[in-house]
Structure 1
Amino acid sequence: MATVDDCRQALFDLAARLERNAGARGRLDLDRTLACRVTDLETAFHARLDGGLLVDIADGDDPKAKIALIAASDDLIALIAGRLDVTKAIASRQVSIKANPFDLLKLRKLL
């Protein structure tokens, strides 16, 4: 099982990767609050997606977040590292993403 620090670092790694790839995919019109809930560690993080970049990552939940990613720690890290396919993870209920359908379509471009 991964630690809280491992999960936090994975989110910062994702933010760095999104920033590096921003030029290749173009600006993504998506400005939403994000909550990342790690079920097995009973912890959460929150951030903001702004133009396809993940910014303002912080500890703690945001119950009003427009997008919520819910996963166990190992699944979260595997998803961010690219070892876990997001579509298969959602279909098998390893990962849950709560968002409106239009936001889900835009999120696919990021993952």
Structure 2
Amino acid sequence: MANAEECREALEQLSRNIGGSTGDVRKAAELDRSLSCRITDLDLTFTGRLRGGSIEDLREAPGSPAEKADIRLTMSSDDLVALVGGRLAFASAWAGGRVKLEAGFRDLLRLRTLL
């Protein structure tokens, strides 16, 4: 099981990956939306803002998110680290129920490019 610091590092790496993207991926990441990533096995939630192609104001708090974010991810710590590290494909993790993604329909359409 990955720890909280490894999860934070994975999310920071994801932000760098998004920030360095180009083309359709970069366009999809240009959203301005609140974001939460619930880590089930650590009973921890990271929150931030997807803005300008990166994740800003990344914070962590115990338990479930205090507020409902526009884009909500739920997964285990190991799955987060594996997704960002390229060892787990989002589509198969989502289809297998290992990762949950909730967002408005328009956001899902734009985010599909990132996934």
Shared fold (TM-score, shorter chain, > 0.5): yes
Letter in 2 for 1:89: A
Q: 1:33: which partner in 2?
A: 34
Whole-angstrom CA distance in 1 between matches of 2:68 and 2:34: 8
1:88 to 92, 99, 105: 92
Q: Superposition pairs for residues 31-110 of structure 1, below 5 Å?
A: 31-60=32-61, 61-110=65-114
Partner SS, residue 94 of structure 1: coil
C-alpha RMSD of the superposition = 1.6
Tell me the distance in 2 between the aligned counterparts of 1:95 and 1:59. Answer: 19
Q: Which residue of 2 aligns with 1:12?
A: 12
Q: Which runs of 4+ in 1 moved over 3 A?
A: 23-29
TM-score (norm 2): 0.85
How many residue pairs get aligned? The number is 110
Bigger mean CA deviation after superposition, 6-15 or 47-56: 47-56
Please give the alpha-carbon distance, in whole angstroms, between the structure 2 residues aligned to 1:59 and 1:93: 24
- Percent identical pairs in the alignment equals 42
Q: Is the 8 A contact 1:35 1:63 kept in 2?
A: no
Distance 2:27 2:92 in 1: 26
Alpha-carbon distance, 1:59 to partner? 1.2
TM-score, L = length of structure 1? 0.88
Unaligned segments of structure 2, at least 5 residues: none
Equivalent-residue separation in structure 2 for 1:88 and 1:62 (angstroms): 29
Instruction: Please state whether the residue corresponding to 1:27 is helix, strand or coil.
Output: helix
Matches of 1:52 and 1:59 in 2, distance apart?
Answer: 20
